[in-house]
Structure 1
């Protein structure tokens, strides 16, 4: 199987993840064939992304009722490598791969209990104004939070 375009060397890429969030596959997340429904990967990415952003400090800033900025997902992609089944415990890894003026690219890795890569992914988020919906550049504090996670 060819590697996705955002991965040059799987072994090195896999080692570059430092944040992981565990999930257990629920029965309701499987399909008639007994394996994880393909749409659930995006829910797992979201769940791990929120935890990752909480640990960075950005989520608290965005969730502040008086805050003027929020993140929106601009695109999200998943590559399926190996099947996943009910009751498997997965580790969802998230890392910053690129920081733009007002956007950040995140990459994802999903590992099973045998440390086998089941899924990979990438996506870009943009920080926007709650009022205008227009992109807002990162300030120095936010850039520091993101670069610390690179």
Structure 2
């Protein structure tokens, strides 16, 4: 949300967005501004940071349904949550490819988001498939 507010509303880079002229031996910079202002920073006219915020909001709504809804709704919600997180996971490699090989810059906030999506998928995979998962056992 900080990134959306500062970049889209204030038109300033978020904190720690550009860390000097740090360039790796591969010629890749640590520069969120370069990533967020690239032609690849939107899909269908919508900024990727806005789409990411929507993804995480829907993710949160589904989590709330899983833990607080009736069993039948919770069971369906966990299936939808698994598919939703798989969709997020499927997009991450493409976004990393764009950062590293096309834009040649890494966005710290994007990298944190990618990590969160990967961790989210690992958690939902455990909850759905592990026999030791209390949520799986509760939902049957």
Identify the TM-score tier after normalising by the shorter chain. Answer: under 0.3
Q: Which has the higher helix share?
A: 2
Higher Rg = 2
- Taking structure 1 as the reference length, the TM-score comes to 0.26
- Taking structure 2 as the reference length, the TM-score comes to 0.27
Q: Which has the higher strand share?
A: 1
